[in-house]
C-alpha cells in the first residue's frame, strides 16, 4: 500500500469552476500535510500546508484535513488556465526530522 495516494487524473475542470483534489494517507503518525503545485518541467512549489483538522483558506485555495479518515483535500475556486499543473500531496511525520512523503500527484487541466 502506498503511503500517500492520489488519483493521477487528469482532472478536467472548466474555467471558473471549482477543482477538488483528494489525497489519502496510511501513516496515522503523520502530523502535517502539504500541497505542492508542479508545472511541467519545473520543480514543485508550496501552495499551502495544514496540520489541524478542518479547513484552511488562502486566497482561491482551501485545504481540508480529516485525521480520523486520514484524508486531505485541496479545493481550487475560480479555476484559471494557469492552474493547469500537477498537484502533489505530501505528509510529514514531524518530530524525527522533516522528511516528506509524496503522493504521485493529480494532473489538473483547466479548460477555457
Partner 1 sequence: ETGVTQTPRHLVMGMTNKKSLKCEQHLGHNAMYWYKQSAKKPLELMFVYNFKEQTENNSVPSRFSPECPNSSHLFLHLHTLQPEDSALYLCASSQGQGGYTFGSGTRLTVV
DSSP assignment, residue 42? S
Q: Looking at residue 57, what DSSP letter applies? A: E
Give the nearest distance from C-beta 90 to partner 1 in angstroms: 8
Of 11, 64, 84, 92, the one binding partner 1 (CB under 8 A) is 92
Who's near 34: CB < 8 A, 6+ residues apart?
A: 46, 48, 49, 89, 90, 91, 92, 100
Residue 76 or 88 having the CB closest to partner 1: 88
Q: Residue 88: exposed, middle, or buried by beta-carbon count in 10 A (0-12, 13-18, 19+)?
A: buried
Under rule CB under 8 A, residue 44 binds partner 1: yes
Which range touches partner 1 (CB under 8 A), out of 20-28, 38-46, 61-69, 77-85? 38-46
Note the residues at the interface with partner 1 (CB under 8 A). 2, 4, 31-32, 34, 36, 41-46, 49, 51, 88, 90, 92, 94, 97-105
Amino acid at each position: 500500500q502506498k503511503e500517500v495516494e492520489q488519483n493521477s487524473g487528469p482532472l478536467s475542470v472548466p474555467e471558473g469552476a471549482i477543482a477538488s483534489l483528494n489525497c489519502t494517507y496510511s501513516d496515522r503518525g503523520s502530523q502535517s500535510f502539504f500541497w505542492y503545485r508542479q508545472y511541467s518541467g519545473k520543480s514543485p512549489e508550496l501552495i499551502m500546508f495544514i496540520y489541524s483538522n478542518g479547513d484552511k483558506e488562502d486566497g482561491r485555495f482551501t485545504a481540508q484535513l480529516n485525521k480520523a479518515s486520514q484524508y486531505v483535500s485541496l479545493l481550487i475556486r475560480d479555476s484559471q488556465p494557469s492552474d493547469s499543473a500537477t498537484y502533489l500531496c505530501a505528509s510529514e511525520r514531524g518530530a524525527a526530522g522533516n522528511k516528506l512523503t509524496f503522493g504521485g500527484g493529480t494532473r489538473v487541466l483547466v479548460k477555457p
